[in-house]
Amino acid sequence: MIRTGIGYDVHTFAENRPLILGGVHIPHDRGLTGHSDADVLSHAISDAILGALGLPDIGHYFPPTDMSIEGIDSQVILKKCRDLADENGATIHNVDSTIVAEQPKILPHRSAMISQIAKTLRLEESQINIKATTHELMGAFGRGEGMAAMAIATIDARSPSSS
């Protein structure tokens, strides 16, 4: 059975934090706030995979009230989603995502992010797509107060042994 899931995440910018997107450090004057490394792209992809599996969101597995995981690398979260797909006999076919931000420019970092996400999910780079758009200077994103990401994941929920 082919299933899809949608993920969405948003974080505000903060001083004195690194900007991590898709597991890649992006040079920028501010990073994003969050209980983890605040990687909006990896969070959106994680929730998309969990949604396709029919499972709860990442907050269920990595609650923001758990101080023992404060600052957790979002690639650990993404790997957990891959492990849950494996445990449920699901095959991840592809991930398509979009980052919404006025700054920084995403294109120079796109290949590195695709490579890192593919590595973490144990997929081919051709199975990962990352796009970017601005908010055309409108609203909180347009004012540069933060960024968002959305993603969709397509999986085959059948166990490989049942095909």
Is 3.20.20.140 the CATH number for 2-162? Answer: no
- pLDDT (tens digit, 9 = 90+) per residue, 32-89? 999 999 999 999 999 999 999 999 999 999 999 999 999 999 999 999 999 999 999 9
What residues does each domain of the chain span? Answer: 2-162
- pLDDT (tens digit, 9 = 90+) per residue, 89-119? 999 999 999 999 999 999 999 999 999 999 9
Tell me the C-alpha to C-alpha distance, in Å, between residue 16 and each of 21, 29, 32, 92, 160. Answer: 16, 8, 9, 36, 46
Distance of alpha carbon 58 from alpha carbon 41, whole angstroms: 13
Distance of alpha carbon 122 from alpha carbon 124, whole angstroms: 7
Distance of alpha carbon 72 from alpha carbon 92, whole angstroms: 24
Rounded to an integer, the average pLDDT of 130-149 is 90
Cβ partners under 8 Å of residue 113, min gap 6:
21, 22, 23, 24, 41, 130
107 and 130 Cβ atoms separated by less than 8 Å: no
With a cut of 50, say whether residue 162 has pLDDT above it: no
57 and 64 Cβ atoms separated by less than 8 Å: no
Q: Token pair of 117, please? A: 């996400």
Give this prediction's pTM. Answer: 0.94
